Amino acid sequence: MRSLIYDRYLYLLMLPILFYFVIFKYLPMLGLVMAFKDFNLTMGIIDSPWVGLKHFERLFSSPDFYQILRNTLLLNVYSILFYFPVPIILSLLLNEVKNRVFKKTVQSILYIPYFISWVVLGGIIISLLSPSTGVVNAILKLFHIEPIYFMKSTFWWPVVYVLSSIWQSAGWGTIIYMAAITGIDAEQYEAALIDGANKWQQVWHITLPGIRSTIAIMLILRMGQMLDVGFEQVYMLQNDAVHSVSEVISTYEYRIGLAGAQYSYTTALGLFKSVIGLILITSTNKVVNLLGEDGLW
Amino acid sequence: MKNRWISAVVAVALLAPMVSGCGETDKAATGEEAATISVSVFDRGSVPASEGNYEENRWTRWINEQTGLTVNWVPVNRNEAQQKLNMLIATGEAPDLIVEYDQTYIANLVNQGVAQPLDDYIEQYSTSYKEYLEQNEDLKPFVTYNGKMYAFTNRRSEDSIANHGIWIRQDWLDNLGLSMPTTDEELLQVARAFTYDDPDKNGVDDTLGLALMQWQEITQAMYFASSLWYDEGGTLVYGPLTDRFADALALMKTLYDEKLIDQEFITDKQSTVQKQLWVNGKAGILTNSWTEDLNRELMQNDANAKPVQMEALTTKYGKNGLWQETAAQRYVVFNSKMENPEAGVRFLDWMIDEGWFTLMFGEEGVHHRMVDGVPQAIDAEKNKTELSYNVDYAVLNQWELKPEWIPVMASQDALSQELALQRQTSLETALKTPFRRDLPYNPPVAEFVRITSEFSPKRDSIRMNVITGGPEKTPEWGLAELREEWKRLGGEEVEKQVNEWYQANKASFAVE
């Protein structure tokens, strides 16, 4: 209590942020009751009739739901397997570059796609992969391989999705690892050098363990997004021919919720998504704790 | 110590707007004589800064002057109008008069109790609109729900009833000595010739049969399989589930398999390639709209180009026009929480009587002059500033464009005149063949609204699989898939409800 009075101005400073969270993050959560009601525009949230688990029953009995859930999970699993290690490897590589100018240039080039909107990137990717005019197929032709219409193929589409994510944000993702690497005590490297460790051994025994907890936290946070797939990326890349692999929860929510005005149903879906996200975060955190890392809490 | 004070001040300053933002002040209490109503207006972002904004500009002031009312305009972003209106309704801030083009949305407002019945108000307060309605009895079914009128509306002008169009290069037909196709089979033959017989006589195999835009609706309409309900012997059947839909698929599949269309149109979502094909003279047929703004560029690129709109094609099911809108244009409903319905009726009476003309064409002698009874722009630049945004204030109008007026209204330079003449013929062609529409509007059945949002993506994806999926994905396979999806989504129940609604309301639809 004494400290409360003593630091009163600091607390006063904190108030706006507290308000921000209460007003914009916690109060809207009350809207979740919509998932248990038949939301009607004129009646508003409070007066709309309660319907219990009706929307959840519809959700779990809809075959569409399992398809989009499968697509969402698959895209995320691919992305954890293939995307997640890329920024780590990139930052390890960058860390070994000694020429400052070269390093900065490479970093900037890697960051650039992150600042381009998916609307533009989507167009670039589609034209790069075009079977008639795209660069990729022109190269394939040199090796006498028949042109492939990547964007139309249900096999290639997820591949394009993951590769385009890497292209777009792997460079940006290195920032946090680069920062963690900077935090490693330089003396450790010196000691290892004296003991005769080569570059590879230094990376394996010093750099990687040094950023282990950062990797763990990034993984936990990533697990929480297992049911999220960025709307824009999918929306820009998808087309009617690959609907069966590209329809994910976020695009489905958009189609049904906003375009179809089924607010209660999509709220139920959103709630389901959050609950799964929470379970995944806490269980990954548990696993990480068991492995001897701090994790999130 | 000083620093602390500064931070405290900053904290309070940050906080102040949030606190004051919570207390909503009521601005309505002004004590003026004039009755006040609020009306929604589509915000298309086209009011120039020098003119003011959507709430306050020369036309809003003019309206207040003329009507003796205080009209508060509530701007609604055109691209997300329904979401915005829904939000305003949910928070109790919806305007007294809600304006929309979408009949299904109006049906929703009626279902949800947002709109109120209008028969008594029209009877009591209206003169001009009452008269207009008597002269236009056929508009009534569009606004009648359970025997009561819930919206004001007006007749669409012909140019907005017509919609899509199929354009063909007459000069290419002449080069190859072909005649204008009249059936779907002839269309295919012409498309083959356009692709393989060098129609532009440049000695290079660089042409395609068709450039595709809006092709989904156009091919569906050709075979009477639009996403509408058709009365088949007294029962309503949904267009994409009929056998005819398979024929629409078959036509597209043939075009794709024989490489008569761009093989990558699937990923050309913004139609950039399709547009290029047409304006650069690489495709001989274009499916899009009857107005076709691309023709200007095409004719600038190639002086010999002669685009002509094709008449409706005959298929084995007969001849159907391309998509046409219904006769009713805009809908204006009265919010059930509205305080002064009389003022609302007075406003609309004035609008349909005299207000609309000035709101669409400006003042005579200033913005337009009358030439043979048609308003012709005086100064295109001036109008661009002062008139480009006003049309949305004319919530009701009696404008009826005749095709022969198009050249009179257009700019007078040679190319514009040529295009205007082309457009005049095009409009006549577009309206020549009626478009089959068995119901004035889609059934206001909640389950149907729900199922369409889930079914439409399936329809599009199955359609694409049939078109591009090679020999094993036949149109019949596609149709079977569609029917199965429909059933799986609960389509049988929807059909039952829709038909029950039809039997109950059939009598109230005017015979078209």
Q: How do the domains of chain A map onto residue ranges?
A: 1-52, 62-114+170-290
Task: Give Cα B217 distance to the centre of its chain.
Answer: 13
Q: Is A210 on the interface with B (CB under 8 A)?
A: no
Contact in structure between A265 and A257 (CB atoms under 8 Å): yes
Mind listing the pLDDT tens digit for each residue in B274-293?
Answer: 999 999 999 999 999 998 88
* Residue numbers in A near B454 (CB within 8 A): 64, 255-256, 260
Which SS3 state, helix, strand or coil, does residue B237 take?
strand
Non-local CB neighbours of A122 within 8 Å, separated by 6+ positions: A233, A236, A237
* Best to test chain A binding among B87, B267, B282 (most A CBs inside 10 Å): B267
Predicted confidence at residue B33, as pLDDT, reads: 64
Least confident of B323-337, B449-463, B496-510: B496-510
H/E stretch holding B154 reads: strand B152-155
Which single residue is written with the structure tokens 């975060």?
A: A281
Tell me if A126 and B112 make a contact (CB, 8 A cut-off).
no
Residue ranges in chain A assigned as alpha helix (H):
2-6, 8-21, 44-47, 54-61, 63-78, 85-96, 100-111, 118-128, 135-142, 156-182, 186-194, 199-202, 208-210, 212-223, 231-237, 243-246, 249-253, 263-290
Min Cα separation A232/chain B (Å) = 14
Min Cα separation A96/chain B (Å) = 41
User: Which of the 8 DSSP states describes residue A50?
Assistant: B
Predicted confidence at residue A230, as pLDDT, reads: 84
Predicted confidence at residue B68, as pLDDT, reads: 93
Min Cα separation A9/chain B (Å) = 6
pLDDT for B22 beyond 50: no
Predicted confidence at residue A229, as pLDDT, reads: 86
Non-local CB neighbours of B40 within 8 Å, separated by 6+ positions: B73, B74, B75, B76, B85, B94, B95, B97, B98, B99
Contact in structure between B305 and B415 (CB atoms under 8 Å): no
- Other C-beta atoms closer than 10 Å to the C-beta of A157 total 22
Q: Is A255 on the interface with B (CB under 8 A)?
A: yes
Predicted confidence at residue A262, as pLDDT, reads: 79
Beta bridge partner(s), residue B370: B375
Predicted confidence at residue B331, as pLDDT, reads: 95
Across B321-360, b (16+ Cβ under 10 Å) vs e yields: bbbbebbbbbbbbbbeebeebebbbbbbbbbbbebbbbbb
B36-159+327-393 matches B164-323 in fold: yes
Distance from C-alpha of B283 to C-alpha of B212, rounded to nearest angstrom? 10
- Other C-beta atoms closer than 10 Å to the C-beta of B391 total 17
How far, CA to CA in Å, does A155 sit from each of A245, A252, B234, B265, B357? 9, 21, 46, 19, 58
Predicted confidence at residue B17, as pLDDT, reads: 41
Q: Does domain A62-114+170-290 have CATH number 1.10.3720.10?
A: yes
**Interface residues from chain B to A (CB-CB < 8 Å):** 4, 7-8, 10-12, 14-15, 18, 82-83, 86, 89-90, 92, 108, 112-114, 263-264, 266-267, 269-270, 336, 449-450, 452-454, 457-458, 460-461, 463-465, 468, 488-489
Least confident of A60-64, A88-92, B15-19, B397-401: B15-19
Contact in structure between A209 and A291 (CB atoms under 8 Å): no
Closest CA to B419 of B248, B260, B305: B305
Q: What percent of chain B has pLDDT over 70?
A: 93
Tell me if A41 and B11 make a contact (CB, 8 A cut-off).
no
Provide mean pLDDT across the span B54-63.
94
- The pLDDT profile of chain A, 297 residues, written as one tens digit per residue, is 678 888 889 889 999 999 999 999 888 888 888 889 888 766 777 888 898 898 999 889 888 889 999 999 999 999 999 999 999 999 999 998 889 999 999 999 999 999 999 999 999 999 999 998 899 999 999 999 999 999 999 999 999 999 999 999 999 889 999 999 999 998 999 999 999 888 889 999 999 999 998 998 898 888 888 888 888 999 999 999 998 899 999 888 888 876 667 788 889 999 999 899 899 889 988 988 888 877 777
Predicted confidence at residue B13, as pLDDT, reads: 46
* Residue numbers in A near B18 (CB within 8 A): 16, 19, 23
Provide mean pLDDT across the span B413-438.
91
Min Cα separation A260/chain B (Å) = 5
Contact in structure between B277 and B261 (CB atoms under 8 Å): no
Query: What sign results for the dihedral spanned by CA atoms B105, B106, B111, B113?
Result: positive
Predicted confidence at residue B227, as pLDDT, reads: 92
Tell me if A41 and B488 make a contact (CB, 8 A cut-off).
no
pLDDT for B21 beyond 70: no
Which of the pair, B506 or B119, is modelled with greater confidence?
Answer: B119
Mind listing the pLDDT tens digit for each residue in B335-381?
Answer: 999 999 999 999 999 999 999 999 999 998 888 888 888 888 888 77
Min Cα separation B488/chain A (Å) = 8
How far, CA to CA in Å, does A250 sit from each of A70, A227, A257, B276, B307? 13, 9, 10, 33, 43
Predicted confidence at residue A287, as pLDDT, reads: 87
Domain coordinates in residue numbering, chain B: 36-159+327-393, 164-323
Provide mean pLDDT across the span B313-335.
94
CATH code, residues B36-159+327-393: 3.40.190.10
How far, CA to CA in Å, does A184 sit from each of A179, A193, A202, A210, A215? 9, 15, 12, 6, 14
* Residue numbers in A near B459 (CB within 8 A): none
CATH code, residues B164-323: 3.40.190.10
Q: Is A126 on the interface with B (CB under 8 A)?
A: yes
pLDDT for B2 beyond 50: no
Mind listing the pLDDT tens digit for each residue in B285-314?
Answer: 999 999 888 998 999 999 999 999 999 999
Chain A: residue whose CA lies nearest to B85:
A41
